[in-house]
Structure 1
Amino acid sequence: MSTTRTHDRDRILLLMLLLGSAWGTSAHFQELIPSQDIVSGDTGAQLRFEMRFTHPMDAGPLMSMDPPLAVGVLGPGGRDSLLSSLEAVEVDGQQTFQFDYQIKAPGDHLFYVEPAPYWEPAEGVMIQHYTKVVVDGYGGGDEWDADLGLPVEIQPLTRPYGLWAGNLFRGIVKQEGEPVPFATVEVEWRNDGSVTPPFAAYSTQVVKADAQGVFSYAMPRAGWWGFAALIEGEEPMMNPHGEAVPLELGALIWVYAREMR
């Protein structure tokens, strides 16, 4: 083989490796992770929530978050804003947020965040992921499937707590309260460092909702699982450079599964 052909082959291989690295990163996920998914007399009523924008299965990198536009909870006493409870925390040089909350009454508590839109130059889109997580307070609730009225939202069809690893989680993808047929749902496990995906395709699982907007996924391992339904916004958004670009809306829900022992 000639030297020219060898160099051409090497350049092609290098290009493939670089592209594979660029395409192989897992998806963006807005995290909203409580210290407990179930509050009981044994756990105590105090919760701490971490909010990070990251790639959960790859355990990073973190993206810096601007202050969220809304953070709140819908519980037995109604809806409350939690924006005043936010504390900015620097992690790996990036801004994240956390807040504390005390469960005061039995019942389901639906926590949610509306983050500020994030500019992703690699994809040429603005990203805004409306995210929620449900915490059971003392086993006294049956409102775990309540609608928060977010622009995009996953309404669980499976109770999103008290789940074993291997259970099937089901939900409906909604936009403005209406089901989204055939929506794409990305699924990632919040990696604790114990799993190394053998190929990039294992980092982000992808399922399609059916014609009624319903999807399902069996969680094979204990830990936090994020479900992100990605929907293109109807109107473009201005990026930091003043250019009109597509808006990626995400409807996210976090669900915890435990190992059966």
Structure 2
Amino acid sequence: MTKTAPLAAALALAAAPALAHYGMIIPSDPMVSQEDGRSVDLTLSFSHPFEGIGMDLARPEAFTVTHEGETTDLLGELSEATVMDHPGFTMEYALDRPGTHVFAMTPQPYWEPEEDAFITHYTKTYVAAYGDDSGWDTELGLKTEIVPLSKPFGLWTGNVFQGVVMLEGIPVANAEVEVEHYNQTGAAVPSDLMITQTIKADENGVFTYAVPASGWWGFAALNTAEEPMMYEGEEKAHELGAVIWVRFEPWSVE
């Protein structure tokens, strides 16, 4: 009994699915109307969103908003905050004009010892202001990103979301995309294997996913950078994540 216990524990640990990491930009509202006010609150974090397990987010390398083709640097306006019991950032952004505002974060590369690799998640979310959805398919030209083929707001639960995975401006054939719910209600799953859904894009880099529940859903397309990074004198793999956060609304039409 004593001899087999460590082996059983080791097997259980090996069998447990790895927790998926997500860069996160969560706005207080993805569709801001005149009645809602003239600004949106943004929360930036790095976490395991379904489990609600936070991780440390160092000050990003870049944080911007793009509107009508104009990109504005917002890095200096971020305020330090605690998100899921770990360092993160917040800010209030004034929405001066209608249309879609695309917020994007480039974090500092994160060293993940369990994966023996660095992780950088280029993270985006889209906010529509004052009933104007123009610019909802904006591509930012990030090193890697998911360009929406479905409007990334104003979606009902049960709608599909489609996007194309881009790396260095080129669609990634057969890209692997991880999908996870930001579980703010304490929902349980029958198996840990269902926490992170995994799908693959087609030969054109296009993926499709039907969302089963309302709330925020993160889509992360993962690729490995050609150039490794150095850690303690050794070359290590560098995972590049293209992350987009999309909110789905509950069906409530009478």
TM-score norm. by structure 2 comes to: 0.95
Does 2:16 correspond to 1:47? no
Bigger Cα displacement from structure 2, 23-32 vs 246-255:
23-32
Q: CA deviation at 1:73?
A: 0.5
Equivalence for 1:252: 243
Q: Of 12, 15, 18, which aligns to 2:10? A: 15
Higher mean Cα deviation, 24-33 or 171-180? 24-33
User: Paired residue for 2:25?
Assistant: 32
Q: CA deviation at 1:57?
A: 0.8
SS, match of residue 122 in structure 1: coil
Alignment of 1:143-222 (within 5 A): 143-222=135-214
After superposition, where does 1:31-110 map in structure 2 within 5 Å? 31-60=24-53, 62-76=54-68, 78-91=70-83, 94-110=86-102
Structure-2 residue corresponding to 1:111: 103
- Measured in 2, the distance between the counterparts of 1:248 and 1:145 equals 25
- Residue 12 (structure 1) shift: 3.1
Report the counterpart of residue 125 of structure 1 in structure 2. 117
Amino acid at match of 1:42: E
Q: TM-score, normalization: structure 1?
A: 0.92
1:206 maps to a residue whose letter is T
User: CA-to-partner distance for each residue in 1:85-106, whole Å, 9 max, x for gaps?
Assistant: 1111134652111111011111
Gaps of 5+ in 1: 1-5
What is the Cα deviation at residue 7 of structure 1?
4.6
- Name which one, 1 or 2, has greater alpha-carbon Rg: 1
> Does the aligned pair in 2 maintain the 1:25–1:200 contact within 8 Å?
no
Q: Please tell me the residue identity of whatever aligns with 1:41.
A: Q
Amino acid at match of 2:176: T
| Code of the aligned partner of 1:34 | P
Between Structure 1 and Structure 2, how many residues are aligned? 252
Task: Mark the CA change 1:111 to 1:91 in structure 2 (over 3 Å): closer, same or farther.
Answer: closer
Separation in 2, partners of 1:28, 1:217: 19
Residue 193 of structure 1 deviates from its aligned partner by 3.2
- 8 A Cα contact 1:59 1:193, kept in partner: no
Measured in 1, the distance between the counterparts of 2:223 and 2:14 equals 25
Q: CA deviation at 1:8?
A: 4.7
Tell me if the contact between 2:25 and 2:124 (Cα under 8 Å) persists in the aligned partners: yes
* Unpaired runs of at least 5, structure 2: none
8 Å CA contact 2:52–2:84 kept in 1: the answer is no
- Give the Å deviation of 1:141: 3.1
Normalized per residue, the structure richer in strand is: 2
Is the CA contact 2:45–2:83 (under 8 Å) kept in the aligned structure 1? no
Question: In 2, distance between residues paired with 1:209 and 1:187?
Answer: 12
Do the aligned residues in 1 keep the contact of 2:80 with 2:90 (CA within 8 Å)?
yes
Q: Do 1:76 and 1:106's aligned partners in 2 also have CA atoms closer than 8 Å?
A: no
Query: Secondary structure of 2:13's match?
Result: helix
Please tell me the residue identity of whatever aligns with 2:227.
Answer: E
Distance 1:184 1:72 in 2: 26
Shift of 1:9: 4.2
Aligned partner of residue 169 in structure 1, secondary structure: strand
C-alpha change, 1:133 and 1:91, in structure 2 (3 Å) is closer
- Matches of 2:124 and 2:84 in 1, distance apart? 24
Once the two structures are superposed, what CA deviation does each residue of 1:57-96 show, in whole Å capped at 9, x if it has no partner?
A: 1111x11111101000111372100011111113465211
Aligned residue in 2 for 1:3: none
- 2:248 aligned partner, one-letter code: A
CA-atom RMSD, angstroms?
Answer: 1.5
Cα deviation per residue 1:153-181 (whole Å; 9 max; x = unaligned)? 10000000000001000000001111000
